[in-house]
Chain A
Amino acid sequence: AQKVTQAQTEISVVEKEDVTLDCVYETRDTTYYLFWYKQPPSGELVFLIRRNSFDEQNEISGRYSWNFQKSTSSFNFTITASQVVDSAVYFCALSEGQAGTALIFGKGTTLSVSS
């Protein structure tokens, strides 16, 4: 069965620090899709990135970067030079991309960035 584990429940950093949010997934399928979403205090869920299981290239988008390692079943998210606006709950999610499946979310990591 598929599962997503975000072991870090809460992380607190000071502005300009780098922070990495961990995500470990379990799936029996060879084809699957991984996602990160951000939920700021206002409550909406904002899509950040999608990665399929055949693409292990790391991705960088501004201060955000993602490290996908199939060997360790991890899809970690790093924020460089964190800012107060990065304070939010971050969710990692998995989909097996088959009929009858949807997003399986981790429990989320609450990131607090102080000035």
Chain B
Amino acid sequence: DSGVTQTPKHLITATGQRVTLRCSPRSGDLSVYWYQQSLDQGLQFLIQYYNGEERAKGNILERFSAQQFPDLHSELNLSSLELGDSALYFCASSVDSLGRGEQYFGPGTRLTVT
């Protein structure tokens, strides 16, 4: 158990809909990262927050957004969903803000868009 929690574990929704994925980092970790894992793209970095502020952006679509709350949990919002958004979404947390330390991953949320 990494100490990072993600909910829900599975999500099935229709095209055009909006969903919210939730992540709670390990105790003491201020950095939260979101990654998307798909068969064709592999593991791709989406966005990073550190202590409530956005720190880095990767290949995140404009339809996707995220935030980190004062209690350090984070939410990833996916809107106008398309079939191609079906993937495993991971949240990871780290003590470090600069990518120097290991990141601990949650169990992931498997999103299926039908």
Tell which of B2, B48, B107 touches A102, judged by Cβ atoms closer than 8 Å. B48
List B residues at the A interface (Cβ < 8 Å): 2, 33, 35, 42-45, 48, 55-56, 58, 88, 90, 92, 97-108, 110
Q: How many A-B residue pairs lie within 8 Å, measured between CB atoms? A: 68
Query: Is there contact, CB below 8 Å, between B56 and A33?
Result: no
Give the chain B neighbours of A100 by CB distance below 8 A. 55-56
List A residues at the B interface (Cβ < 8 Å): 33, 35, 37, 43-47, 50, 52, 91, 95-108
Query: Is there contact, CB below 8 Å, between B88 and A102?
Result: no
Give the chain A neighbours of B45 by CB distance below 8 A. 102-104
Listed A/B pairs (25) with beta-carbon separation below 8 Å: A33-B99, A35-B102, A43-B110, A44-B105, A44-B106, A44-B107, A45-B92, A45-B108, A46-B2, A47-B104, A47-B105, A50-B101, A97-B99, A98-B98, A99-B55, A99-B56, A99-B97, A100-B55, A100-B56, A103-B33, A103-B45, A103-B99, A103-B103, A104-B45, A108-B43
